[in-house]
Amino acid sequence: MDKAHVLREAINYVKQLQERVEELEEDIQKNGAESTITITRSHLCIDECHGNGSNEALPEVEARVLGKEVLIKIHCAKQKGILLKLMSQLERLHLYISTSNVLPFGNTLDITIIAQMDDKYNLVVKDLVKELRQVAM
């Protein structure tokens, strides 16, 4: 192989990469960029914590948006009726549940929800997380 051949191949490869970057940028413009917001309260427990399992750092709420879909993850203390409250709040916010999963773990719940945005949905991700965190407290 001569230097000119290697140089031509390198130039071709760079052009392919530039085309791929343009395609991905167009995809982002068409589908929207993914947004993620997580709000948690940290809690440091040294030696013994007050209470049973100390859920002071709960609830943790995370939301990710991709296009018209929202992925919501909530880790909160187990409480009666929490799922119904969350689902009702999502409907009030014009988010309609596609799937949901609830896993109990000790005195806590790990809730995952995928929802579709209605045309009337008008919150930014940060505000959605705050709304859901209030419900889960």
Q: How many CB atoms lie within 10 A of CB 93?
A: 20
- What percent of the chain clears pLDDT 90, i.e. is strictly above it? 38
The residue ranking higher by pLDDT, 137 or 71, is 71
Looking at the structure, do residues 39 and 84 belong to the same domain, yes or no? yes
- Positive or negative: CA dihedral 129, 72, 92, 118: positive
Looking at the structure, do residues 57 and 113 belong to the same domain, yes or no? yes
Report for 7-11, 57-61, 84-88: range of highest mean pLDDT? 84-88
Domain encompassing residue 20: 1-31
Looking at the structure, do residues 63 and 129 belong to the same domain, yes or no? yes
Say how many CA atoms lie within 13 Å of 15 toward its Cβ: 6
Q: For 103-110, what is the mean pLDDT?
A: 92
How high is the pLDDT of residue 58?
74
> If we measure between CA atoms, which residue out of 42, 35, 33, 114 comes closest to residue 74?
114
Q: Dmax over Cα atoms in the chain, in whole Å? A: 74
Looking at the structure, do residues 1 and 57 belong to the same domain, yes or no? no
Looking at the structure, do residues 111 and 52 belong to the same domain, yes or no? yes
pTM of the model: 0.61
Looking at the structure, do residues 4 and 68 belong to the same domain, yes or no? no
Looking at the structure, do residues 77 and 118 belong to the same domain, yes or no? yes
Looking at the structure, do residues 9 and 74 belong to the same domain, yes or no? no
Do 133 and 114 contact (CB within 8 A), yes or no?
Answer: no
- The pLDDT tens digits of the residues spanning 19-61 come to 888 887 777 666 655 555 555 444 433 333 444 444 456 789 9
Looking at the structure, do residues 37 and 78 belong to the same domain, yes or no? yes
Looking at the structure, do residues 24 and 67 belong to the same domain, yes or no? no
Looking at the structure, do residues 12 and 71 belong to the same domain, yes or no? no
Q: How far is CA 49 from the centre of its chain?
A: 30
